[in-house]
A and B are shown apart, each in its own frame.
Chain A
Amino acid sequence: MRFLPLALLVCLLTAGDTPPVRIFMYSEYIDPTLADAFKAKTGFTLDIQLYEAQEEMIAKLQTGGTDQYDVLVASGVVVKQMIGLKLIQPLDQTLIPNKANVGKAFLNHAFDPGNQYGYPYFWGTSGLMYDPAKVKGEPTWAWVLDPASQPGPFTLLDEAKTTIASTLAYQGKDMNSRITAEVKVAVTALAAAKNSPKCLGFAGGVDGKNRVVSGEAVVAMVYNGDAARGMTEKPGLKYGLPKEGAEIWIDMLMVSAKAPNKAGAHALINFLLDADVAAQNANFIQYATPVEAAMKKIKPELLANPAIYPTADELKRTHYLEDLGKDSRMWDAGWTAVKSH
């Protein structure tokens, strides 16, 4: 990431007339050397703009930012919302021949039938990272949600949808439940877990991982990428998807509604779906790629790491989170309740 801006500046200085392709994404979510490869292949310069949380991106786009970016990266759960708010435009499918490289399982989701608006970039899960020396047994949400079975200090993920959905899964309900009574029960249980003495509070994935690595916590609710990093910092730590069910998420590449460089945007999406590029990218940032054609070029140690590529068994108990439309208000009220009591 450190070399990218230097390369960028050089490119910008030498680019002259070609307009840049601006992508709006999380930090450290792309291999920096790909910018050169992109320029060599298409002649466009890659300009990376960063956001801290995708909600902020959506807010910024809503206030007239759609003409400042070309490609947007956001997770599937907000795609429907972005379509409804007219923040993204339908893709010109003829400009993305590499879509054939994507694994069938990652195409044609309910939030974007026929992939009219976006193609997948990376996918992952949200589960539990733990220290097997202090926590025994199969991962279960009871480790954080049941005061009677908490093995030690823990953190919860500071993300409304994921945490409430995980609590619902623990209680055996649908992770996308629209039933007020069910959500209310989940919210009460979550508040109780938060107030239990062993709870160190809500934290982002990175903070939770740091706590487990330093030994201050024995369990943390994290994203799989954070767990993979933690396992490199302190070998011996484990990541698992609880048996009651967990969230699987997928980040999509989309084109902004008023993208100034439409051709470049499509070129970038096509470029990132190329088998070699996707493999190089995935090997660098250590997240799971949905590009099936790239799988044979992924490093074997990454493939063997369940924190990056879950086993088939684990995948069976994962669910995508959906945009709940009007019922999102109810979940939001629930989250406010969790954090007020």
Chain B
Amino acid sequence: MTLPRWVPAVSWLGMTLLYLPLLAVAVLSFNSTRYGQSWGGFTVDWYARMVSNEAILSAAWNSLVLGVISTVLATVLGTLLAIGLNRRPWPRWFKRGSDLAINLPVVTPDIILAIALVGAFAVLREWSAAFKPGMTTLIIAHTTFQISFVTLVVSSRLTTIGKDQVEAARDLYANTGQIWLRVLLPQLMPGIIAGALLAFTISLDDFVVSFFVTGPEATTLPLLIYASVRRGVTPEIHALSTVIVVGTMLAIIAVTWIQAARTAKPQE
């Protein structure tokens, strides 16, 4: 099937829009002037300083750990939720209600989410000290708003898949486990991965909720960055952002390479 000629052009436009600021960030990270726009000369100084800056490194580590754990939790919970909602004939009121419930975190402004979560933790802290502001509360908070995003993406994918395949599998005497593993999840994988990616990036970039929910020992990258922006964004932060982008891209390329090598046998 051939696409009209303007489709690739628009797609490249879209990609340009996405990567133009990153390019600017990368260029600025080599600028030797600390503040201001003017080009002072090429230097890799900022990268060196960034690597030796313990605050940045520990914040980056915290953000990574937080992102991975909360994404895994949210993906599991969200996928189960999407499958459970989609594959049972729930009564209409339940469907409407769960629609509302899932959309609530997407619809609620960050600051309201933050205040709500802080309130919840304040109450729960009376019951168990595990809810002291810190990494645990951060992970819980992030998972809470990530679930919706995963569910929405996976649900739309489920609806697109439809019921025929599952019914066909049943006719062929597949039991529930086999249906899940051989029919449902493989078809759902792109949706699950898309949802997980979405959730991960949301967690990585969250500021408001993290600010209110975290303790002094668990600073994340956005918290560090926001505090520095007030004084003027330093090229060190640009260096950090560039490293994040390049690192993520390398990781993705590596994963795709491995996947491609593994699925060398014809399956599609």
Across the interface, do B230 and A204 meet the contact criterion of CB distance under 8 Å? Answer: yes
Contact residues on A (Cβ < 8 Å of other chain), bracket: 20 to 34
A201-237 vs B, CB cutoff 8 Å, 1 = contact: the mask equals: 0001010001001100000000000000100010000
A56 within 8 A of B: yes
Q: With A8-B54, A27-B230 in contact, is A210–B211 under 8 Å at CB?
A: no
B80 within 8 A of A: no
B228 within 8 A of A: yes
Across the interface, do B133 and A50 meet the contact criterion of CB distance under 8 Å? Answer: no
B227 within 8 A of A: yes
B215 within 8 A of A: yes
Count of inter-chain pairs, beta carbons less than 8 A: 72
Across the interface, do B35 and A27 meet the contact criterion of CB distance under 8 Å? Answer: no
Q: Which residues of A contact B229 (CB under 8 A)?
A: 52
Q: Which residues of B contact A22 (CB under 8 A)?
A: 216
Across the interface, do B211 and A53 meet the contact criterion of CB distance under 8 Å? Answer: no
Interface positions, chain A 48-65, Cβ under 8 Å from B, are: 49-53, 56, 59-60, 63-65
A214 to B33, CA, bound (A): 13
B231 within 8 A of A: yes
Interface positions, chain B 118-164, Cβ under 8 Å from A, are: 118-119, 122, 133
A49 to B220, CA, bound (A): 12
B interface SS class: helix
Interface positions, chain B 86-125, Cβ under 8 Å from A, are: 115, 118-119, 122
A26 to B211, CA, bound (A): 14
Q: Which residues of A contact B175 (CB under 8 A)?
A: none
A49 to B216, CA, bound (A): 7
Across the interface, do A5 and B122 meet the contact criterion of CB distance under 8 Å? Answer: no
Q: Which residues of B contact A49 (CB under 8 A)?
A: 216, 219
Q: Which residues of A contact B52 (CB under 8 A)?
A: 2, 6
B226 within 8 A of A: yes
Across the interface, do A50 and B227 meet the contact criterion of CB distance under 8 Å? Answer: yes
Nearest CB in chain A to that of B56: its residue: A5
Across the interface, do B230 and A206 meet the contact criterion of CB distance under 8 Å? Answer: yes
Nearest CB in chain A to that of B229: its residue: A52
21 residue pairs from A and B, CB less than 8 Å apart: A2-B49, A2-B53, A5-B56, A6-B52, A6-B53, A8-B55, A26-B230, A49-B216, A50-B227, A50-B228, A52-B229, A52-B230, A63-B118, A63-B212, A64-B118, A68-B216, A204-B230, A206-B231, A206-B232, A210-B36, A233-B36
